[in-house]
Structure 1
């Protein structure tokens, strides 16, 4: 859909169509306009599509994950031109401070964070079977090749603070250790059963009690597990919001090297929309 047809659209409908609201859309246009002006100062041929249409095309690509060929036909351009436009939009946005928020692991060591609760969890995104290194990307849980994404959120604000990417074979707790994220001792960490052993490296952890055949859970332990699950549901809801963009929920067809960039852009959009 071309941008001219969206001028009279309601904000709620724009959110359903593109995954972002009107305020964030305008903010992204401002960022892109500044970069395009710098580009034209050095010369260059004007683009066939307006900046609004190019951004809309990129959002449609993330939201619907159609092929470059199908999106190019919708906008009356070539497939290669569609790819170049989307790549320029992504590369431009990721350089802006508003879209570099997920490099904020250092903020976890800030004194302002010491009495807060951080929730950690991992989600998996299916990928096409790699030509090399198939074993390290094969997830026994999902029975397919995947990329695992670890995110850390602050419970009260629901803001995504940090992300880390790993192969599908790696266990959740190993991914946390590989990410080398550090926390203040006063920070409460909330995790699921995939992080057994975290109690040995951090003093303040909320983790469910694992049941066994010989030693069933007591009523109090079941109640405590249920309470932890209620607190953890926040991060599951965030994963559901992020995965409205089909590019990270469906099988990822592109080269894996741009997956992290695209996930971080979508997560940054989520953070921006918390403020607007």
Structure 2
């Protein structure tokens, strides 16, 4: 049954080029601004997630996350303000960083095709594990040396991702 559901619906989370996304870019941006976004063009959020697995018999080092101190599989998702997942990539080996997973996927090219409109370049908001780019905006890094204004910015934007 799981395979049936997967093969019948996988296209729904493997591409951002879908009418339910394309027709709502402006609406998503307005929702984010109404919720307190400091960027007027943020339409969703990108994040990696890790799921613990049993220790594999082979290639244990590939699946081990030194940060979490567990063997893991990692996934990357794009979520929109309506709560729907627009894209899901994975699984990836546990030792991969979020930014490395972004580079392994074709998502940058897809964002360039989908998020550029004649009037606005839309973007996603991600944690500081990603790099700031045209289509991904991140908070300030190095929390200890930030000004109060920068800390407030990070706090406000992080609250949107929940």
- TM-score using structure 2 length: 0.73
Gap runs ≥5 in structure 2: 30-42
The structure with more strand, counted as a fraction of residues: 2
Q: Residue 95 of structure 1 aligns to a residue in which SS?
A: helix
Other-structure match for 2:159: 230
CA shift, 1:218, in A, is: 1.2
1:91 aligns with 2:17: no
Gap runs ≥5 in structure 1: 1-88, 234-276
1:107 aligns with 2:18: yes
Note the 1:178-193 alignment, pairs <5 A.
178-181=104-107, 182-183=110-111, 184-185=115-116, 186-193=121-128
Q: Residue 170 of structure 1 aligns to a residue in which SS?
A: coil
CA shift, 1:107, in A, is: 3.2
Other-structure match for 2:51: 125
1:206 to 131, 137, 142: 137
Q: 2:98·2:129 contact (CA, 8 Å) conserved in 1?
A: yes
The structure with more helix, counted as a fraction of residues: 1
Other-structure match for 2:148: 219
Q: 2:143·2:151 contact (CA, 8 Å) conserved in 1?
A: no
Between the aligned partners of 1:130 and 1:204, the Cα distance in structure 2 is 36
CA shift, 1:114, in A, is: 4.8
CA shift, 1:91, in A, is: 2.3
- TM-score using structure 1 length: 0.45
Between the aligned partners of 2:50 and 2:122, the Cα distance in structure 1 is 26
Q: List per-residue Cα deviations over 1:233-276 (Å, max 9, x = no partner).
A: 1xxxxxxxxxxxxxxxxxxxxxxxxxxxxxxxxxxxxxxxxxxx
Q: 1:138·1:146 contact (CA, 8 Å) conserved in 2?
A: yes
Q: List per-residue Cα deviations over 1:151-186 (Å, max 9, x = no partner).
A: 11112x211011111110000011011111121241
Larger radius of gyration: 1
Between the aligned partners of 1:205 and 1:119, the Cα distance in structure 2 is 9
Q: 1:192·1:207 contact (CA, 8 Å) conserved in 2?
A: yes
Q: 2:63·2:95 contact (CA, 8 Å) conserved in 1?
A: yes
CA shift, 1:113, in A, is: 5.5
In angstroms, what is the RMSD of aligned CA positions?
2.2
Between the aligned partners of 2:44 and 2:104, the Cα distance in structure 1 is 18
Between the aligned partners of 2:4 and 2:22, the Cα distance in structure 1 is 33
Other-structure match for 1:163: 88
Q: Residue 106 of structure 1 aligns to a residue in which SS?
A: coil
Between the aligned partners of 1:112 and 1:139, the Cα distance in structure 2 is 39
